[in-house]
Amino acid sequence: MAKTALHDLGADSGEARQPYGRIKPEGVDTSHGAILYLEDITVSFDGFRALNKLSLDISDGELRCIIGPNGAGKTTMMDVITGKTRPDSGTAYFGQTLDLTRMSEVQIAHAGIGRKFQRPTVFEQHTVFENLEMAMKMDKRVRPTLFFRISGEQRDRIREVLALIRLEGHERRLAGLLSHGQKQWLEIGMLLMQEPRLLLLDEPVAGMSDAETERTAELLDDLRGKHSIVVVEHDMAFVNHIARGGKVTVLHEGSVLAQGSMREVQADERVIEVYLGR
């Protein structure tokens, strides 16, 4: 019986708890330091180049912010990484060996790339706990034959993720009754249940209150280094906060216009002209 009742959450399974963020090494070869390589990616829609020879790589464990004006190609880039859109030309690799342009969306998700869309898509008629449980059950790597041992681990993981996404104490609430920000966190939690190596977050703080935005920055800080994370966001204060001196990439007209620390890109004349100075 798939028993992960709420009261079990408080129970100590007695099993040795692994620290959150354990990396599953199998599958993705990051021996050269990068988890994602995009090279010369072009995507055209009716002759219009949404991506124009886009080249970008993300280091394993990096948190990279991607900014750029409307229509710069940010969503199209995410679509290429997740297999939703096939590029006309160019290469896209997950680690050294996994050619994303030859994999289906499902294969890419199973290989360890999780994407959160701008609008939360939680199961509103189910509780917070059930949402996390369902997300875990969709993880094909969990072997049902080891059920009882897995059950203890599952409880631990749900407990860890509930704490991470700031929803401890809300596990019995229907997801539909959560605030917009809480739904966003729950969706991030659902992705985390599958332990993705690379998390893609599309405008995670859009529509959030200031307090929720701040808590989302804290959440990303907690995830920093445990997953590679790509954040597409328009909220510059938020980007400035989470980039923390790390690399920010500015997209414009389908390619990289500038890349560097937030301070560097904000001082870049081309960036000021096309975007920040508007």
Ligand X SMILES: Nc1ncnc2c1ncn2[C@@H]1O[C@H](COP(=O)(O)OP(=O)(O)OP(=O)(O)O)[C@@H](O)[C@H]1O
Task: Report the residue number, 70 or 145, with the smaller CB distance to ligand X.
Answer: 70
At its nearest, how many Å lie between ligand X and the CB of residue 163? 32
Phi and psi torsions of 144, nearest 5°: -60, -25
Phi and psi torsions of 191, nearest 5°: -65, -40
At its nearest, how many Å lie between ligand X and the CB of residue 109? 20
**Candidate residues 41, 60, 63, 76; the one interacting with ligand X per rule CB under 6 A:** 76
Task: Report the residue number, 74 or 159, with the smaller CB distance to ligand X.
Answer: 74
At 220, list the tokens: 């990303």
Q: Cα torsion for 119, 124, 129, 132, to the nearest 10°?
A: -40
Any contact of residue 66 with ligand X (CB under 6 A)?
Answer: no
Extended beta strands in the chain, E state: 34-45, 48-59, 63-67, 89-94, 98-99, 113-116, 198-202, 228-232, 248-252, 255-260
Task: Report the residue number, 73 or 87, with the smaller CB distance to ligand X.
Answer: 73
Task: Report the residue number, 126 or 234, with the smaller CB distance to ligand X.
Answer: 234
Piece in contact with ligand X (CB under 6 A), picked from 72-80, 125-133, 141-149, 160-168: 72-80
At its nearest, how many Å lie between ligand X and the CB of residue 102? 21
Piece in contact with ligand X (CB under 6 A), picked from 7-15, 64-72, 127-135, 164-172: 64-72
Phi and psi torsions of 137, nearest 5°: -65, -25
**Candidate residues 35, 72, 161, 190; the one interacting with ligand X per rule CB under 6 A:** 72
The SS3 of residue 56 is strand
At its nearest, how many Å lie between ligand X and the CB of residue 4? 37
Task: Report the residue number, 28 or 58, with the smaller CB distance to ligand X.
Answer: 58
CA distance 127 to 141: 24
Is residue 48 a contact partner of residue 63, using CB atoms and an 8 Å limit? no
Binding residue count for ligand X, defined by CB under 6 A = 10
**Candidate residues 4, 56, 68, 82; the one interacting with ligand X per rule CB under 6 A:** 68
At its nearest, how many Å lie between ligand X and the CB of residue 74? 3
CA distance 106 to 5: 29
Task: Report the residue number, 195 or 203, with the smaller CB distance to ligand X.
Answer: 203
Any contact of residue 75 with ligand X (CB under 6 A)?
Answer: yes
Is residue 100 a contact partner of residue 41, using CB atoms and an 8 Å limit? no
Any contact of residue 87 with ligand X (CB under 6 A)?
Answer: no
Phi and psi torsions of 180, nearest 5°: -55, -45
Nearest to 5 by CA among 155, 138, 131, 148: 155
Q: Which residues contact 222 (CB under 8 A, 6 or more apart)?
A: 164
Any contact of residue 115 with ligand X (CB under 6 A)?
Answer: no
Burial class (CB in 10 A: 0-12, 13-18, 19+), 125: exposed
Any contact of residue 73 with ligand X (CB under 6 A)?
Answer: yes
**What is the residue type of 20?**
Y
Task: Report the residue number, 47 or 144, with the smaller CB distance to ligand X.
Answer: 47
User: Can you give the binding site for ligand X, defined by CB under 6 A?
Assistant: 45, 50, 68, 70-76
